[in-house]
């Protein structure tokens, strides 16, 4: 999916090891507490949302909640996304996979440390049908997705009257749990989070040739509004489509 490129681009900022950063983030107060100026207005519903670990959505045997800011769970999230987006190489694939997973973890830590809690959330899907999955194992997470409040003009021009929107990226499902509605439930949780945070639109991107992803998003209510220009292929990039879901009646 198009999210892979975003994950790789986000990892260019890091110079410390993921383990060192995890030690810092799991023991420090949130950035909102350290800097009150970063606090933003939020609805009562948003304040009471999934901070306590309640599920945003429970369906098809899966529950989706906000990621716990702990080293163990953050590593699990990085593992799921790395498995989904890593491009295998001919030689030393295992080594390159571990490097890629470390980059994904670093990007996740960066977003957590630098985003107010009502502007970014990583949502995780897990089984609610014990003992299909054991919460304490790596396999305890079936899928993940990133949700970020954005205001990109290229997207806003398609959203009537909106100043911001919820952008969905990094959606990943473990290979062993694909075709089991995990992606569907993750997208429904994004809907719920968008409503909790008071946003009328959700945006996401998919590669033009990824028909499976497009079908999933279309079934979830997303519509194609634009496509990258053809010249982007001249610089070695794949064309992406922008899809929007509106809650405006």
Bridge partners, residue 64, by sequence: 57, 125
- Listing DSSP states for 50-80 in one string gives STT---SEEETTEEEEEPP-SHHHHHHHHHH
Q: Domains in the chain, ordered, with CATH? A: 3-28+52-246 (3.40.630.30)
CA gap 67, 32 in Å, rounded? 18
Bridge partners, residue 57, by sequence: 64
Report pTM. Answer: 0.75
Kindly report the CA angle at 54 between 164 and 148, in degrees rounded to 5? 20
Q: State the catalytic residues.
A: 217
Count of helices and strands (H, E) across the chain: 9, 8
Query: What confidence score (pLDDT) does residue 88 get?
Result: 57
Query: In this predicted structure, which of 78-92, 141-155, 181-195 has the lowest mean pLDDT?
Result: 78-92
Residue 212, Cβ density class (10 Å: 0-12 exposed, 13-18 middle, ≥19 buried):
exposed
Q: Is pLDDT above 90 for 168?
A: yes
């Amino acid at each position: 999916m198009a999210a892979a490129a975003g994950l790789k681009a986000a990892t260019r900022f890091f110079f410390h090891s993921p383990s060192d950063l995890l030690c810092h983030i799991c023991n420090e107060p949130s950035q909102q507490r350290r800097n009150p100026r970063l606090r933003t207005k939020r609805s009562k519903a948003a304040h009471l949302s999934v901070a306590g670990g309640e599920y945003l959505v429970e369906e098809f045997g899966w529950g989706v909640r906000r990621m716990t800011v702990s080293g163990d769970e953050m590593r699990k999230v990085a593992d799921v996304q790395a498995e989904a987006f890593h491009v295998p190489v001919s030689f030393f694939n295992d080594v390159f996979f571990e490097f890629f997973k470390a980059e994904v973890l670093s990007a996740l830590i960066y977003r957590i440390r630098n985003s107010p809690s009502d502007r970014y959330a990583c949502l995780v899907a897990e089984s609610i049908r014990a003992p299909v999955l054991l919460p304490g194992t790596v396999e305890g997470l079936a899928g993940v997705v990133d949700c970020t409040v954005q205001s990109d003009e290229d997207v806003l021009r398609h959203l009537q009257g909106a100043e911001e929107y919820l952008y969905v990226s990094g959606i990943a499902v473990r290979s062993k749990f694909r075709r089991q509605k995990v992606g569907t439930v993750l997208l429904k949780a994004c809907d719920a989070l968008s409503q909790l945070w008071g946003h009328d639109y959700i945006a996401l991107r998919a590669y033009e040739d990824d028909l499976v992803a497009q079908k999933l998003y279309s079934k979830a209510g997303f519509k194609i509004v634009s496509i990258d220009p053809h010249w982007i292929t001249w610089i070695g990039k794949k064309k992406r489509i922008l899809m929007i879901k509106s809650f405006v009646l």
